[in-house]
Amino acid sequence: MFGAGEWQETKHGTKKKRRKWRKLHLGLDLESGIIVCCDLTEDTVGDPTVVPDLLDQIEGSVATFLGDGAYDGAATRQEIAVRYDCVEVIVPPPKTAVPSPEAETAPTARDRDILAIEKHGRMGWQKQTGYGRRSRGETLMGRYKQIFGTALKSREFENQKTEARINVSVLNTMAALGRATFERIIAT
């Protein structure tokens, strides 16, 4: 087993200078395609701990929170519930998740998700909740990497955060210029 970059050291006999990973957290408005919040963190920072800082950046209301399984947990759901009313939180629980003891009498949204997955399967739950819309965020991340590359140019962490914010601003400018529209054509 090798950690990040260790296989290169073993294979080439060289010492890799920098092996730190960064995580870019993005919040996307699915209607407009505009990035409404972003944060760059070190790889040691847990995803749920970033949620308050991301929510601080959002102006206006939030109707739906879509996130991957890393955002699963009570802390994320509570933070969103405290700030916004009637937000639909769509985060898949892990495969090993079990309903809470109160699931029979007073199920939480997470309990309902777990029970729906048990009943309809993970793909059925995804279709039922609209979890597939999260692919727009994955597409956004792919667009970010395609345009700006997979590595940051700055060396200092604060400068890297600034670089990420500038890149996000450029992506938002590009999105504001216009997006392709698609129309379904029905053959007759």
Q: Are 50 and 24 in contact (CB under 8 A)?
A: no
Helical ranges in the chain per DSSP H: 6-12, 51-56, 74-83, 109-129, 135-148, 157-177
Number of domains within the chain: 1
Assigned domain for 26 exists? yes
Assigned domain for 174 exists? no
- Kindly report, residue by residue over 160-173, the tens digit of the pLDDT: 999 999 999 999 99
Lowest mean pLDDT, pick from 13-22, 24-33, 102-111, 134-143: 13-22
Return the pLDDT at 162: 97
Assigned domain for 172 exists? no
Return the pLDDT at 17: 62
Domain range holding 52?
Answer: 21-93+131-149
Q: How far apart are CA 27 and CA 157, in angstroms?
A: 21
Return the pLDDT at 184: 83
Return the pLDDT at 90: 95
- The tokens for 49 are 């701990």
How much of the chain, in percent, has pLDDT values that exceed 90? 68
Assigned domain for 104 exists? no
Assigned domain for 32 exists? yes
Assigned domain for 48 exists? yes
Return the pLDDT at 134: 92
Of 25, 28, 50, whose CA–CA distance to 38 is shortest? 25
Q: Look at 103 and 42; give whichever has higher pLDDT.
A: 42
Q: Look at 11 and 29; give whichever has higher pLDDT.
A: 29
Assigned domain for 29 exists? yes
∠ CA(39), CA(141), CA(5), 5° rounding?
80
Q: How far apart are CA 92 and CA 113, in angstroms?
A: 7
Assigned domain for 14 exists? no
- Kindly report, residue by residue over 60-83, the tens digit of the pLDDT: 899 999 999 999 988 999 999 999
- pLDDT exceeds 60 at position 2: no
Q: How far apart are CA 107 and CA 94, in angstroms?
A: 17
Average pLDDT of the chain, as a whole number: 89
> What's the mean pLDDT in 9-21?
70
Of 91, 83, 46, 47, whose CA–CA distance to 65 is shortest? 91
